[in-house]
Structures are given as C-alpha cells and as structure tokens.
Structure 1
Amino acid sequence: MAYLYHSWDEAYKSPFGAIHRDEECRFTIRLPEETPLDYAPVLVVFRTGFKERFLPMCALGSEAGCTIYSTTFRPKYEGVHYYYFAYTSSGVRHYIKRGDACHGTLDNGGMFQLTVFSQHYQTPKFLKGGIMYQIFPDRFCSSGKPHENVPTDRVMRQWGETPYYRPDEHGHVWNNDYFGGDLEGIRSKLDYLKDLGVTCIYLNPIFESHENHRYNTANYRKVDPLLGTNEDFRTLCEDAKKRGISVILDGVFSHTGADSIYFNKFGRYSEPGAYQSEQSPYYSWYHFWGNKEYESWWGIDTLPNVDENNPSYTKYICGKGGVLEYWLSLGAAGYRLDVADELPDEFLDNLRTCVKNYDEEKIVIGEVWEDASNKEAYGVKRRYLLGDQLDSVMNYPFREAIIAYIKGEAVTTFRDRIMGILENYPKCTVDVLMNFVSTHDIERAINRFGGQPCDGKSKDWMAQNNLSPEEYQRGKTLLKCAMVLQFFLPGVPSIYYGDEVGLQGWKDPFNRRCFPWGNEDTELLEFTKQLGSIRHSCEAFAEGKMEFLVLEDNLVGFSRYDAETGNSAIVLLNRGGATGMVSLRDKCFANYAFSTVISGICDGDAIILPAYSYAVISAVRSVRSEPAE
C-alpha cells in the first residue's frame, strides 16, 4: 500500500528515527500521478524559534500509480526539528502533515519530529542487555547488624508491618518509621539477585537523611547510619562487581532536607546551617525572604530548594573531589537523578561533564515522566537526550503503554505508543532506557491489574485493602504478561523489589512495604527468572532494532534483530483468556528464517499460545524487500 508519507518506513524516511548532527537523512513522498504540480514539492524543516528551510524534492519515477519525490537533509544543528511537506497544484498550496502516529495526511495534521543529537553521543555498554533491580533500602533486607550513631528519634518497626501513613496534628507525615533494611542486608542477597539475572542495582537514596525515603538529604557525603557506613557501600559495590552486578545511586540535587548539615533548621547539627546564619558556607545555596521564609520544593517546608547553579553548590556536587566523584570512587556505576526536569540545563551539563570525565562508562539516568525528547519544563525545551546531559530516562511512556495494553487497550495504540518513543529517542538512549511496571512513586503493577483503581481513595482505604485471592490471581496473571513486554521491548527491564514474588502495594507508602522473605510467590519468581534467562540468551535483546509483526486483538508479536547479522528473536504474547495460534507461514514472517523455539508450544509451523502466555523463537532476518504497511 502506498502512502503519501510514512515516517516509520525506510522507503519514506531513511534512516528511521533520530539522527546524528551532519548525518544525511532521505525523505520521500508519493503523490498520485494525476496530481498536476506547478513546481516541485518541498520538504519544510525548522527548529523552534528559527526560520524554516525549504528543500526542493526531485522526481525519482513512478510506482503503483504514484510519482515518487525525494530529497535529503543533513542537519547542521542539534535539537528537536519539525518538518512537513508542501506542494502547489493548480495554484492551490497543499501540505502533507502528520495525520496519526506516522502517516502523512493532506492539508490537516501536525508536525513530524526529527531529533538531531550530538555526533559524540554514546551511552555506557555495561547496562545494555542487562536487568536492573530497584531497591528501597529500608525495606529490602535487614542484616540485623547493629549500627552506630543512629538518631534516637527514629521509630523502629517490626519487619512486615504496615508503614505509617497518618499525618500528625499539624497535617505532616514525618515518615520516621524504619524497618531496618541496610546495605549489609542487600549484600547478603547478592546471590539471590544474580540468580534472578540482575546485572545492575538501582538504590533509592542512601545518604544520611531523617525520613525513611531519604529524599531529604542531610549529608551528601555520608551513608545514613541505619544503612551502615561508607565502607559498607564500598564493600557492597566490590562484592556485587564479582557477580557481574553494578550499583547505581539516587542523586537528589534539586533540594536538601531542612534537617541537614546544610540548612539545620532544627539544630540537630553543631555547626550553624543556612537557616541559622547568613555566615553559613551554605547560605548562598538557598533563597530566603522575610522572616526566615524560604523557597521549598513544591511548598514542602522540610525540603528547601537549592540554587543548583550557585557556584558554591555546583562545585560541592560536581567539582573536583565533589560529591559525584566521591561516590564514583567508592564504586558507584552512576546516578539516577531525582526530578530531572527541575534541574537546570547548566547544572545537568556540569553534572554529566563531571561523571563522564571520571569514566565514560558511568551512567546518568533522569527521572522524566513524559517523552523526554520534546519535554518542556518551566518554559524551556529541554535537551536531555542530545548528548550533553542524560544517557537514559525512566521510561514512563512504555510503562503506561504496557499497562494500558494488558488491560485491554487496542493493540494498534500500543504499537503507536512504543514506536513513537523509538522514533523520537536516539538509538543509544533506547538501548539503556529504564523499563519498569512499578516504582516507589506509583502503585505496584499487580495492584493496578488485579484490584479496583486507587485514584481518589484515602490512605486508610489503601492500608486496609489488600487484593482478594481472586484479585491477586488476576493481578499476577496480567503482571506476567506485562513482564514479557517489559523484558523484551527495547531498553532495560527494571524490577521493583518484590514485584517478582508478588509483593502488593497501592500508592506511597504502601508501595514501599517490606520484602516478604519466606513468603514469596515462588511460581512468579521462577517465571521472572525464566524471562531473565531468555533475555540473556539472545544478543538481539541488548541493542537489537525492533519491528512489529503481529497485531491482533489479543495477540501481539514483534522481533528484536541485529541489522548487520540478522540474528533475531521473535516475541509473541497472548494477553487474552482464550487460546491463540500464530502461523509461522504468515506473510508477516516472510523476512525471517526460524531456527529454535526458545520458549512456547510449537505444532509444526504453528505457535500455540494458551491464555495469557508467550513464546520466544530465535530466527534470522533478511533485508526487507518492500515498504511496511
């Protein structure tokens, strides 16, 4: 089928997706042969705030009743570019713009996006093809080891109890209940993580703080005493490395705690902080006005904002021997940046420079909830993925696409959501995207699948409502389907601790319950291990490209393939409650030669997919011989 334009098909745009600065990109349109043209069509390209460029297109010949017009564009500047096509017929100006996710439509529609990134942009290899495991340190595992200098105002709880969630008489939830998870506990479970296939641990904050989430940093250069010592962190990294596991830290650099050595609002520390004295070396980090009033993160007065571009603060974090270098020297593999959209560009530039000067293989991942390629924050179009800031982001768009599809959304919508990110992000970013279905900031996926929506529900409701046995079974069944997509789509699967054993939890703090050691769902655990084993067995899952092959109501199929060798893995998923079947003789597989069924039921040339099941088949892909439809 011929389209006016199809941005995902290399017969119309080559190469697919984002491109390097100064890399040639060919654009092709097809117009009906009977279309009278006053002069040649043009490609119109522009960046926000800059004038359009008009590139004439040349006729290449005719095909299937259409005249083919083409031109090339070699961008000289990095940034998000937008484009469309225009031509004049019998004195009337016409436009080919984006009508849906990828197709050109006549005269109506929006702009197509072309992301142009730096020629030097590369991302660390250590994460590609791996599996990440996110740990909320207080709730994963307690070693029982005694720790020194633990503040006496912390409330110690029994492992497995419901986290505190009710506010005090002033309406503040202090998050001062602790369950004793520590670094030594994590170290004791490294073999468990290795058996799960984990190659990278992402730790929620470990720096000294006075609430259990530790996003209100009290001392950037010290492990929280309840978690252990700085030396314990070094030992954890060393022992993890022996097992092929890296450790990434959570960097919270947009604000500190009010209860910190820097601000010291409550006088916990002997040296005066910014709240107490203008003579404090940290005073210039903060914005004060009036009678001890100050700017805080989202109005939460326990989280005073910092001026990230204050020279003193930037040097403290990003300077030689600063916070970033210090933890890298102890073994950290990089950082996940909390609220990256609230960190100014200059600070992100400095942060990346510091990390990459230490070691190009150290990674920088940003918390961004939207499409990070075209994100605007506080009136500024961000440049996270152009080569000078982030390597990767938390892939919330994939998460929402996966959950919506598993819960019944149209398969074509799922395809469009996935392809939209693959089109907009640099390929090197795609290979290290953090793909998850649960995190510490959202309800666990098993609850989202199995129970009723929790939006609008009270904390009391969330505390008292566990999934019924029937809800749990449904949640688990759909979670397994979601994990298939999480593990095999482009990017790196990130398991939120406990998801692999059926740990439940609505929103904060119930999504941060203790790991249920001794009460694991072993069937779900073995399923997760199987996915990890398959992922590690096929190199195409590391950096392979992707194409959708099967798009039916309850059946979706796609390949991951190495464009040079053709080595491929075909992934098929049945999200429905009835048995499905896919014939390997179908036209969609014409470019593939099959070798081995890695997982699934094969009956001759057919793959049988029982309800809520998947299959993975190794294959070799040949070069596509016709445009995609």
Structure 2
Amino acid sequence: MADPSGPLLASPHHSPSAYMVSNPTPASGETVEVSVVVPDQSGVGPVMLRTVHDGEATFVEGRSRRVGASSVWTFDLGCHNEIVNYRFWCGGSEPHWLTGEGLVGHDPTDRSDFKLATTGATPKWVPETVWYQIFPDRFASADPNKPLPEWARHSDWDAPIARGRAAMSQVYGGDLDGITGHLDHLIDLGVGGIYLTPVFEARSNHRYDASSFERVDPLLGGDEALVRLAQACHRAGIRVISDLTLNHTGSSHEWFQAAQADLGSPEAGFYFFGDEPDDYEAWLGVASLPKLDHSSGELRRRLYEGPRSAFGKFLGAPFELDGWRIDVANMTGRLGLSDLNRQVRSAARATLDQIDPDKWLVGEHFFDYSLDATGPGWHGCMNYGGVARPILSWLGSEPARRTFMPGPGVDARAGGSVAASIDAVMSSVPWQFVLGSMALIGSHDTSRWHSMAASPELARIGVALTMTLPGSPCIFYGDEIGLTGVGNHESRRTMPWNRDSWDRAELDWYRSLIALRGSSQALAHGGLRWAERADDALAFIRESAEERILVRACRAGTPALRLSEQLLGTNQAELVFGDGTVSRVDGNLEFDLEGPGVAIWRIGPQALTQL
C-alpha cells in the first residue's frame, strides 16, 4: 500500500468531473458510472464504492480492467437523493478510504465524500467565462457634469478617496454609458463577462442600500443605459450580471418608508418591526440597512417570485441580464431561530429557471458555504473560502493576512496545508457547485490583490492560480494594470484612463492567462489532481477527456518536479505559459522553473478513453 504522503500520482485517484463520471449532473433516479484509477504502485485492491441511499450506507461492487500501468475500477452509482454522497474503500494490506479530501487512513465522515447533485446543472458557459467586476462609479464616465442628489459629494476623477463614512457619499461620476464606451479594453483583455455591483437607485456610491428595486439609478444613466450596455456587451459576446440584495434594503427604500409611515401596511410585514417605527432589525445593526422578513408572501412576490418580480424583471427584456450575484447570501432569510435561507434561494432559482435556465445565480459567501449548497438554489458562490483564503495564506503579506478577515485574520500556510484547504472546501459541496462558483482573490470588499501579495512575483502566481483552479475566474477592474489599494474603500479607486500609466507587463500577463483559460476545456471543466504539495511548491493537473493541463507554482526556488512517465501515462509535455522547462530523465518528465514563478504545460492525454 502506498503511503498517502508518498508520490501523489501513485495513489488511487477519482474526481467527480465528467472525466471520471459518465454524467456529473444526473437527474433524480438516474444511474451513472463512476471510475477510480488505481496505479499498480499503490498496492491497492480490491476497491468498493460506498454511497448513502435515504440516509443508509450502501456498498457497491465494481468492475476492474487494465489501462496502462493501472487498474480502472468502475461502479454503477444510483442517484436517488438530492445530494449523492460517495467514497471508495481501498483494500490491501493497509486499507484506506479515498474521499474528496484524498486518501485517508481513518474512518471519515460523509462530509468529505465526493458529491453529485440531482437538482440541475450549472450553465456550461459559467466555468468557461472569465469575469471582470466593475464598481460603476469608479470605472468610466460618459457624462461627468450630471447633476448630483443631495446626499452625494462630487470628487474629481483623480481626487483621493475620503476616509470613514464620507467615503460612501463620494461620487466620482462613473456611469453605465462610460462602461459601454470602454468595452474595447475588455474585448482586448479577453474577458467573457462583466459583473456590476448594484445599479439600483440608492443613497451611497456602493448602492447596497437600495431605495428601489425597480429603477436603475439616474446617476448611472437610468434603465436605458443598462439596456444599452447589455446590448453592446451581448453583441461583443460578453455576458452581464449585476448585484441584488435579498437580505436588506436601504432605509430610504420606498417599501421601508411606507412601512415606517404605517406599521399596519403590507410593507411593514416586509421587515422585522417592534412596537415603534424606529424599532427594527437591521443588518449587523446598521440602521440604514433594515433586514427583510421573507415570511411575507407579498415581499417574496414583489422581490423574487416569478418573472414580474424585481429579480425576474431585469433578467427579461429589455435588460436581458445573464444572472444575478446575491449580496450577503449567507445571511439572507436568517435571523435567530428563523432560517428561511433555503426557501429564498430555491424560490429565486425557480424564477430564474422559469425565465431561462441558462442564466446564472451566484451567492456571496466568505465562509463555509456547504450548508447553502443543498437543493436547487445558488449555482455557486464567491469562493473566498476555497480560493482567496488559501492563496492569501500561501502568498500574502503578514499585514494583509491579518486584516483580511475579523479576528486573527488568515494564518500563513505551507503548500501542503493550502492544498488540503482547497480539497476540504471542494469536497464539502457538489462538483457542479464548485464549477459554478467565482474563483477570486480580491473584490470591492477586500484590499486589492496587488496590495495583499507579499511581492509582485507572488502576486502574479496568485493570478495564475485563480485562472487555473476550478470555478469561474473573476478579476476586479484595474487589477490587470497593477492598481493597488488597502482596505475596501481604497480598493475602489478610479480606473486611470491615461494608458501610459498602466503596467503593460501586468496587462500582458493577465491577457495571456485569460486567453489560455478561454481555450482550455480542461481548465474550464476538468477535474483536479495534485502532483506536488511541498512547502514552497504546488503542482496540479486539470484533466478532461479532451486534454490535460499541468500547473506548477513555486513561491521560492525549489528543485525540479520529477514525475514518472508511467504514472503520468505520457512522455509528452508542451509549455503553454511561463518560463518553465521540461526534460526526459530516466523514464520521468522533469518540470522545472525558476522560483518564485509559475509555469503551465499541456501534457499528453492519458490512455483512459475507456473510462
């Protein structure tokens, strides 16, 4: 039996991707084939499948055949429940379990099982898309002289960002037509989608305090400007999603104003009021953000149930948004002993599917999102837990790690722990949820990545990991030209349109990675297999039926990675990104690069077509 800490490619391997599952998005009642590759060097045999049927553990015997220097075990997996859990018992002199967290020598819980969902597929285009997040007030302005409402304070485009609460009323004048006027930059960059933070009328520049869910803010150009932007993007092959808050409104919202004026009104039932108009529940105690009560059927009807709701309106004509990002998705519908989160996400998904099941629904989540990945609901989440935090723990500076989250922040980790963190997060949810999630390392809610990474070289490694790990990569506007900013106010600085100020080398780095991502089925849909988990080096293979991609990242100088041609199933490798080299040495392929750095190779397809 191969020790789990030994050569990674010598261990049994499975991924719940289409490479090893005949249908990773099964319908309820369907039976699919799942396969495990067992290298001869592992000493494993026989293998059995363990699954859970209506809460009862069930074991299934499989079929074994030879493929190269491995045995391939195939099993029939019945997909009976909403979430289909399964893992593999690997027999031998020292039996182990193969789980979503790897090969383990203890009896694991079902939490780490591989998982499939029978509740609908993530749209195929989502993991094939690289997103460009835009904070509309700070990207570009088509009309810098527009009149401002009384709450807003004008700032010139190059003026510094204010401190404290004044930062939220500071308006630089960016608008939706400004974005439309600069689509040439996004087309040149190669992104496939734009994610807009909220565009509804509000009383702040961030607009998470909506005054209405029916109107686009006139400061951004109104409804017509959103239509113009969406149409221009669609003509260019770029999708558009925006931000919707189902957890709260602003205190200036027309519903909340009606509720405070009459606690007997239908709108009063939309919120959690006490005996007085000023006694109400607010998000994290922020009085300007009153929390919504989803037990109100009228609220649900107006906000997200059905095509005529606010949620449905902007997915249909003439706006034709391609989906929604749901703000504070982890807290939506939750207050004390009341938890309606599942009902909210299921109803929102039902509306989306009724309008067009090929649209995307993604929820904000900074933490453990496994409880919210059940049932029809979000296709995925903003994957801070499985991408941003692990990458920051490996590549981030001490100040950035300590201030990324409340409490102790993010601890420094070696490569092996980083890989274990990624595996733990991915194994906690169905594979389609992983593919349907945003892979990101920064946003409007964090410092900019170039201010968090411990060095410019490590920053580039982080970008490459974001572009090659499972999920739908998302970059924050300006990161591609080297913008910096500490804290979530400074990170929202204006986009400089004097192109002489841009970091051209950084732009080329992003452009090349985005092009590679867009051309690779393995990076979009392939499974993930670790090939190296050293303190200062990580390497993994993304593999699909069409191709295999090997990514190696080194945060410091490290020895070359030597992989057995027999275990790889090929002696072919072609460098497709970075400055690495590959050579053949005594039946091995040796992958080398000068650290810190990252290199990506396309390796020969393994002879597993019989899977």
TM-score range, shorter chain: 0.7 to 0.9
Moved more, 594-603 or 227-236: 594-603
Matched, 1:589 2:568: yes
- Match of 1:305, SS state, is coil
Using the alignment, how far apart are the partners of 1:575 and 1:152 within structure 2? 50
**Conserved in 2, the CA contact under 8 Å of 1:3 and 1:104?**
no
The 1:622/1:528 distance shift into structure 2, 3 A limit, reads: same
Q: Name the stretch that deviates more: 177-186 or 311-320.
A: 311-320
Alignment match, 1:102: 102
1:431 aligns with 2:419: no
Alignment correspondent of 2:202: 209
- The CA RMSD measured in Å over matched residues stands at 3.9
Q: Deviations over 1:283-323 (max 9, x none)?
A: 22112112321111111111111112411111112233221
Q: 1:231 — aligned with what?
A: 224
Instruction: Say if 2:25 and 2:120, in contact at 8 Å, map to a contact too.
Output: no
The letter of the residue matching 2:552 is: L
1:346 aligns with 2:343: yes
The change in CA–CA distance for 1:311 and 1:232 in structure 2 (over 3 A counts) is same
The 10-residue stretch of structure 1 (121-130 or 327-336) with the greater mean CA deviation from structure 2: 121-130
Q: Distance in 2 between matches of 1:297 and 1:496?
A: 25
Q: CA deviation at 1:105?
A: 2.7
Alignment counterpart, residue 331 of structure 1, candidates 299, 315, 320: 320
Paired with 1:44 and 1:73, the residues of 2 have a C-alpha distance of 9
Superposed displacement of residue 128, structure 1: 2.8
Q: Which amino acid aligns with 1:184?
A: D
SS class of match (1:222): coil
The alignment partner of 1:288 has SS state of coil
Structure 2 partner of 1:305:
291
- Contact 2:190 2:511 (C-alpha < 8 Å) held by counterparts: yes
Structure 1 position 26, deviation (Å): 7.2
Q: Which residue of 2 aligns with 1:447?
A: 451
Equivalent AA in structure 1 for residue 555 of structure 2: R
What CA distance in whole angstroms lies between the structure 2 residues aligned with 1:181 and 1:435?
Answer: 26
Q: Distance between the aligned counterparts of 1:229 and 1:410, measured in 2? A: 49
Counterpart position of 1:393:
381
Q: Residue 356 of structure 1 aligns to a residue in which SS?
A: helix
Letter in 2 for 1:226: L
* Cα distance in structure 1, aligned partners of 2:150 and 2:443: 30
RCO (CA 8 Å, sep 6+): is it higher in 1 or 2?
2
**What CA distance in whole angstroms lies between the structure 2 residues aligned with 1:553 and 1:364?**
36
- What secondary structure, in the 3-state scheme, does the structure 2 residue paired with 1:123 have? coil
In proportion to residue count, which structure has more helix? Answer: 2
Instruction: Provide, for residues 163-192 of structure 1, a one-character-per-residue CA deviation record: whole Å limited to 9, x for no partner.
Output: 23335xxxxx67211111111111111110
Q: What is aligned with 2:519?
A: 537
- How far off its partner does 1:215 sit? 0.5
Question: Cα distance 1:175–1:182, how it changes in 2: closer, same or farther (>3 A)?
Answer: same
1:76 to 63, 77, 80: 80
> Cα 1:83–1:486, aligned 2, differ >3 Å: closer, same or farther?
closer
Q: What is the aligned counterpart of 1:620 among 601, 604, 607?
A: 604
- Segments of 5+ residues of structure 1 without an aligned counterpart are 31-39, 61-68, 88-93, 168-172, 265-272, 376-381, 451-473
Residues 1:282 and 2:267 aligned together: yes
Q: Is the contact made by 1:497 and 1:515 (CA closer than 8 Å) also made in structure 2?
A: yes
How far off is 1:361 after superposition? 1.1
Which whole-Å CA distance do the structure 2 matches of 1:535 and 1:58 have between them?
A: 35
Partners of 1:19 and 1:72 in 2: how far apart?
Answer: 15
Say whether 1:414 aligns with 2:407: no
Matched, 1:497 2:497: no
- State, as a whole percentage, how many aligned pairs show the same letter: 25
Aligned counterpart in structure 2 of residue 610 of structure 1, from 594, 599, 603: 594
Q: Distance in 1 between matches of 2:164 and 2:483?
A: 22
**Structure 1 residues 24 and 602 mapped into 2: Cα distance closer, same or farther (>3 Å)?**
closer
Query: Which residue matches 1:152?
Result: 150
Aligned residue pairs: how many?
553
For normalisation by structure 1, the TM-score amounts to 0.78
Does the 8 Å contact 1:43/1:71 carry over to 2? Answer: yes
1:322-364: CA deviation from partner (whole Å, max 9, x where unpaired): 2122211212110001111223211211111111111111110
Aligned to 1:188: 181
For 1:560-579, list aligned pairs within 5 A: 560-563=542-545, 565=546, 567-576=547-556, 578=557
1:608 deviates by 4.2
1:514 partnered with 2:500? no
**Quick check: 1:131–1:198 contact (8 Å CA) kept in 2?**
yes
CA distance in structure 2 between the aligned counterparts of 1:57 and 1:559, rounded to whole angstroms: 28
C-alpha contact 1:127 1:199 (8 A) present in aligned 2: no
Asked if structure 2 preserves the Cα contact closer than 8 Å seen for 1:254 and 1:339, the reply is: yes
After superposition, the C-alpha distances for 1:498-521 in whole angstroms (9 at most, x for unaligned) are 211221122221221222332322
State the distance in 2 between where 1:198 and 1:235 align. 19
Letter matched to residue 391 of structure 1 = H
CA distance change for structure 1 residues 480 and 125 in 2, over 3 Å: closer, same or farther? same
| Pairing partner for 1:369 from 366, 389, 392 | 366
Q: 1:200 aligns with which of 193, 196, 212?
A: 193
In structure 1, distance between residues paired with 2:123 and 2:582: 41
- Which of the two has higher C-alpha Rg? 1
Between the aligned partners of 1:45 and 1:528, the Cα distance in structure 2 is: 42
Counterpart CA distance in 2 for 1:340 and 1:358 is 21
Cα displacement string for residues 441-465 of structure 1 (whole angstroms, at most 9, x for unaligned residues): 1222222224xxxxxxxxxxxxxxx
Contact 1:82–1:112 (8 Å) recurs in 2: no
